[in-house]
Structure 1
Amino acid sequence: MTRPTNPRGTLGAATAMTCVGSLTAVSATIAGYPVFGGQAVRYAVAALILFLVARFAARDGRRTRPTPREWAYLTALAATGLVAFNVCIVLATRDTGPATIGTVIATVPIVMALAGPLLERRRPAPAVVVSACVVTAGAALANGLGGGTARGLLLSLGALGGEVCFSLLAVPVLPRLGPLRVSAYSAAIAAPMLLVTGLVADGRGVLRVPTGPEFAGLAYLSVVVTSIAFLIWYDALGRLGADRAGLFAGLIPVSAVATTMALGLGRPSAADLAGAGLVAAGVVIGVRSPRPAAAPAPEPVPEPVEAGAPEGGRTL
């Protein structure tokens, strides 16, 4: 059985990753604000928005609360996909350039194309894996290869792992909790974790009153890059599957270039345009490729019929 192309999932994944890609240029407005404190504020505000939306969206008035198993997944998602990802990014920038970090994280589509199907107990689709390689090549071309130390490379790989966990750890909890609650709970769990991290790193300077541009930047990150992007990304993840949704991660560096150009901070180079073309081609091919069916579940072995029992059952 194949999964047909899902227009809503495709549009949602593309929009979410475009929003995330704009983070790079917008982050320049909060460059002077304490990093971890700013991230804690970002996720706290986003969680508040998402929980308010979830409350008004509940038609029957009942609240769906996570089970202990779901709490474990959500905590792991927040700790890796949000907190560890941000910590690795911040530390990696001290040893390597943004190009190297971006190139490493650009391999997300390949990891998702391989790991996503395995979690669903099916074989990776060759066409999607090839498409993921094309997307990764385009994203790396748009980023540039850069350079740095071995420590910076390891931290970049840590950020890659966090980015992958952000999606894969959501897959088991999305069917029951839904995109809205998964987004809200993960953001709410990450906020205090980042605040503690900021207290360790910056002490009492972890939070301060933002300036006008900083307030605008934090508001954009909270509402657009977190509340909206998380919600539509998790919705797309359930519609497309982790492997196909992962292809759209290649749009992040393309969106970063486009946002930088829109804000008048730079102009795209030939490599940027070529990279964008490769990303687009890879996404189109991968999303339109048929999806292999999941491996059939083994048939149950019939129980032996006891002597004297009627056929098809056992005596009481």
Structure 2
Amino acid sequence: MTEGILEFGRALYINTSDVLTGVVRNNALSTGRSLLQVIWDLRLGREDLVSSPLFPVILSVAFYFSLCTPFMIADIYGKKWKWIQKYKIQTDKEVTLDQVFDTLSLTFWNHVLFILPAAVGQMIWTPPTPLPELAPSWFEFIWQQIASLVVFDFQYFVWHWTHHKVRFLYRHIHSVHHRYHSPFVWVTQYLHPWELVTVGFLTTTNTWFFKCHPMTTWSYMLLSIVVSVEAHIGFDLPFCFNNILPFGMIGGAPKHDMHHLKPQTNFSPFFNHWDKTFDTFCPPMKAGGVRPKNLVEYERRTKEIKKVC
């Protein structure tokens, strides 16, 4: 008799839990999470893979190489493709196979010698990622990624400025990235190992400040890669962030190209506000190598200041 009552209680509890879970899920779907929930539910049946500490590493590395490859093809085989060459910023610079091999070689060895051991260590010492039942809300999903980008932008502005102003740091670390005055896509991670580790650490830990949902964290990682790659492609394409977002808030490839030409300017990786605040902003060239009036005026003032000094 007692066992029958206990069994009935367990069955009632399970059924009630299922009902409540369904109610919570339906409420989530009805409040605007539906698309995010559909995407998040793709993890079902793949929890062991998705919760593995290796998953974000594999995801980001695969995404980085997949994103860079089309731009490499355009650099090497698209020299006569007028439809894309009209968007090139430094029109007098060509990307060669030797340059591609050089940048890819350093990228490969950085991944083998530093990223891979870090990933193995993470797999050994980091517990599996908890996977919530529900996807994040759209509000959380969007604002937490923007906030993480803003925080990283300030962190890297300070790091970047310091590594240009301290001669030892520039000479032995950051100068690696500045080997190329005309960036192309594989220059994105053409970095000294210390810079690669620093950037990776800051990108990974920024979402911890906001206790982000795993889906938000992984999306932010991919968004960071998109913005970083975009800044180094050497093309001012119409659909890039600097052309579609208002108020000139994003610098994009034009701004970062100018940093490689004028290394004491444009230290922020994404946004423009810190460079404008600390007077390190240099107006960029535009598609086709066009030098706008504000850039011409900036260079005129800079020359006058140098003559006085």
TM-score (norm 2): 0.34
TM-score (norm 1): 0.33
Q: From the CA coordinates, give the structure whose radius of gyration is larger.
A: 2
Greater relative contact order (Cα < 8 A, sep 6+): 1
